[in-house]
Amino acid sequence: MKKGLLYFFLICSSSTYAQFLYKNINQETKSNYTSNASKINSLKSTTFKTAVDLTKYLPPNYSKSGNVDYTSYIQKGLDENRKVIMPNFPILINAKGIKLKSNSSILFQTNSQINLKPTNLAQYGVIWIDNIENVDIYYPKLIGDKYNHLSSKGQWGMGLFITSSNNINIYNPIISKMWGDAIYIGQQQNKISTNITISNAFLDDNRRNGISIVSGNGIYVKNCFISNTNGVSPSGGIDIEPNANNNELKNIELTNITTYNNGSRGILVALDYLNGVNKKAISIDINNHKDYYSPTGLEIYSDRGNGNKLPNQNSGYISISKTEYYYNKKAGFLSGVSKKNNIELRVSNINSNKQFISSAITNSLSKDFKSGKEIRIK
C-alpha cells in the first residue's frame, strides 16, 4: 500500500441514506487507480494501433457533453469491429446498455466516460458481458443513476454485468453510483463464468455491492480500492454469495484489496444458498486485505439455514492471510453462527486496530468455524 493511502480518511459529508456518512477520499489515493495518459497513449500506438475510434459512428454535430443518448451508435460500432477506442469525452447510454462480443477489445481514453441515462428499471447492465469469451476492457469509467433513478424498485442495476463468460480481463475500471453493483460476476442457466480478472479497480458509492461474485471458477480480483458502498443490503465492498446449488466458487482469489467505509462489510462471504443436493468444494483465498471504517472488516458464514434444510455437505477451504482491520465498530473479523460444516478455515497474520492476533487464537478458528460457533475479533 502506498504511503498516501493511510491519509485518505479526511472529510465526511452526509449521504442521502440515513445513518451513513460518506467519507471523501483524497486525490493522492484516487490517482493510484485513475486512468494513466501515458499508458493509454502507449496502448493506442501498440495494441490498439489498428483499432476503430467509435467517434466516427456518432451522428454529425454530436455532443461532447454526455447529454445525448448515443447507445445505438456505439452499439453499431461494437458490432462491426473487434478492436475499438471510445470517444474521448462523456457518452450517454440508456438502460439497454451496450453488449460486447467475443474476441474483442475496448479502450477508454483519458476523458472517456459512460453516463447512464436515468431509468426506472429494477435491473440494467451498463456494459453486458454475457456468454462470450476473450474480451479485454481497459480503463472503463462508468457512472450510474443511484441518485436520480426513476423508481425505488430493485437493486440490480450493474456497471459491468458479467455472466457465463470466459477469459475476461478488466483493467483499471472506475465505477460509481450504480443502482446495484459496480461489477457482478455470475452465471446464466448452468454455464459458470471462468477466468475473470479484475485489476486496479476504483469502485465508489455504489448502492448494493462494489463487486458481487455469485458463481465462477478462476475469479481473480487484485489491487482494488472499494469504498462507500451504501443504500441497500448487503452494502459490501466485495460480496461472495452464491444464488443456488448449481453455482460454483472455485479458485476465487482476492489479493491486495482495500475496502473503505462500506455500509456493512468490507468483504462478505455468505455460502448459504450453495448448500443442496450436489456437494460443492469451494476454494477462496483472501490475501492482504485491509479494511478501514466499515462496521465489519471481513464477515463469513457457512450456512445460516437460509437455503434448503439439508445438512451442510460442502467442503473445501477459505484462506485468510495478512489482513488488517481498522476502526470497525462491529468487528474486524466475524464468523456468525452457521450449521456444522466441513469447510476448512485457514487463518494467519490477522491485525485488528494495529494489534496482532496471536497464532494461538488463529489456530483455533478452523475448529470453531466447522462447529458453527460465532467467531468475533474486535
b vs e for 195-204, b when ≥16 Cβ sit within 10 Å of the residue's Cβ?
A: bbbbbbbbbb
b vs e for 155-180, b when ≥16 Cβ sit within 10 Å of the residue's Cβ?
A: bbbbbbbbbbbbbbbbbbbbbbbbbb
Least confident of 73-77, 200-204, 371-375: 371-375
Instruction: Give the chain's domains with CATH numbers.
Output: 3-377 (2.160.20.10)
Q: Largest Cα–Cα distance of the chain, in whole Å?
A: 69
CA trace torsion 115, 198, 168, 162 (10° rounding):
-60
For the question of whether the overall pTM of this predicted structure is more than 0.75, the answer is yes
The count of other CB atoms within 10 Å of the CB of residue 149 is 22
Least confident of 242-246, 312-316, 366-370: 366-370
Helix/strand/coil for 337: coil
Confidence of residue 359 (pLDDT cuts 50, 70, 90): confident
Least confident of 35-39, 175-179, 339-343: 35-39
Burial class (CB in 10 A: 0-12, 13-18, 19+), 47: middle
DSSP code, position 354: T
At 360 the pLDDT is: 66
Percentage of residues of the chain with pLDDT beyond 90: 84
At 8 the pLDDT is: 37
pLDDT tens sequence across 230-285: 999 999 999 999 999 999 999 999 999 999 999 999 999 999 999 999 999 999 99
Q: Is the pLDDT of residue 292 over 70?
A: yes
Q: Is the pLDDT of residue 22 over 90?
A: yes
Q: Across all residues in the chain, what is the average pLDDT?
A: 92
At 159 the pLDDT is: 98
Confidence of residue 352 (pLDDT cuts 50, 70, 90): confident
At 33 the pLDDT is: 85
- Quote the cell numbers at residue 298: 471481513
pLDDT tens sequence across 121-174: 999 999 999 999 999 999 999 999 999 999 999 999 999 999 999 999 999 999
Cα(249)–Cα(302) distance, rounded to whole angstroms?
13
At 355 the pLDDT is: 74
Cα(175)–Cα(306) distance, rounded to whole angstroms?
31
Contact 127/161 with Cβ under 8 angstroms? yes
At 36 the pLDDT is: 85
CA trace torsion 306, 310, 316, 318 (10° rounding):
20
At 119 the pLDDT is: 98
Confidence of residue 16 (pLDDT cuts 50, 70, 90): very low
Closest C-alpha to 243, from 271, 263, 209, 205: 271
Percentage of residues of the chain with pLDDT beyond 70: 94
* 151: phi then psi, degrees, rounded to nearest 5: -155, 175
At 308 the pLDDT is: 75
Cα(294)–Cα(210) distance, rounded to whole angstroms?
13
